[in-house]
Amino acid sequence: MKKNIIVSLLLLSQSLAVYAAETDVAVTPKAGVVATPKQQDEELTSAVFKLTSAPKLQSAIALIYDERGKRPLYTKNAENIAPIASITKLMTAMIVLDAKLPMDEKIAISTDDADHLKGTRSRMRPGLALTRGELLKLALMASENRAAAALARTYPGGTGAAVAKMNAKAHELGMRSTRFFDPTGLNSNNVSTAQDLVLMVRAAQHYEPIHRFTTASSHTVQFARHRPLRFNNTNPLVRNASWDIGISKTGYISEAGRCLVMQATISKRPVIIVLLDSWGKRTRVGDANRIKKWMESASARAVRANNRRG
């Protein structure tokens, strides 16, 4: 047993040099600079993640970004440009919130808000009136396309101006491979990369309503002359008590496959998870759970290694 522990620690020490050679983050402090115990712990933890077998993900594109270390823990085709479906709605929400429009203003659903591209259905019939805040919540939580369309239609200057602002904000955030053509994500020309989407999720974290709405389990809309409508979150993980999720957004069109972006804290480590082009209704959720299990395993190993070193 003692022999195994010694061998493990030797491997971890050797991995630090390998890790330094493969990343932009120096493991060995510069001359005259003494690493703090916290920095040393982080270096060893990074090495453990490097040594732990990567999760076998089914998504064609994936990225796990470590917000504390400001570097990826795992990448798979992260630079590939692909349709992002309703992940688009995060940007729609940000530009609406940036405009500081009144959230209590009533907006009636119009026939113009219907999906004339793919013919998707909606329970939000023309004539139903909701507040802008409710539309924002339904667009983010339930991925309601008519809600997102209505938000863009009532944006100053209309839908065209909203889409232009979405592209402008993407440029401001450094999302060089991202293009938006509509506010819902139904247009398959709405494309991005996993790398760009990390930037978008990082920006979205600065909007408290986006955190609150994307992680809500459900919402019931009350109408004066119609029966109440209950909408559920499209990401079942927000109802799982073992997950600590700060931002969540799903997406799906046939061209994009199943998509999911999340900001979550796993084993006290804040990360951004991007999963694109997953096939099968539960594949993206399965991948997210595999990521969680991998991170928990690596973190537990890192704690043991740090304790032995101390």
Mark whether 143 is an active-site residue. yes
Structure tokens at 40: 């040393």
Q: Give φ, ψ of 62 to 5 degrees.
A: -150, 150
Q: Say which of 46, 86, 278, 299 is annotated catalytic.
A: 86
Residue 56 CA to residue 260 CA, distance in Å, equals: 17
Q: How far apart are CA 72 and CA 295, in angstroms?
A: 13
Q: Which amino acid type is present at position 177?
A: S
Contact 308, 5 (CB under 8 A): yes
Q: Annotated catalytic, 89? A: yes
User: Can 56 be counted among the known catalytic residues?
Assistant: no
Is residue 255 within 8 A of residue 27, CB to CB? The reply is no
Contact 194, 63 (CB under 8 A): yes
Contact at 8 Å (CB) between 240 and 166?
A: no
**List 46, 59, 143, 248, catalytic entry:** 143
Q: Which amino acid is at 218?
A: S
- Of 58, 57, 84, 80, the C-alpha closest to 200 is 84
- Between CA 235 and CA 163 the distance in angstroms is 25
Round to whole Å and give the CA distance between 259 and 251: 5
**Which of 46, 59, 89, 192 is labelled catalytic?**
89
H or E stretch including 162?
Answer: helix 158-172
Count CB neighbours of 65 within 10 A. 25
Q: Please give the positions annotated as active site.
A: 86, 89, 143
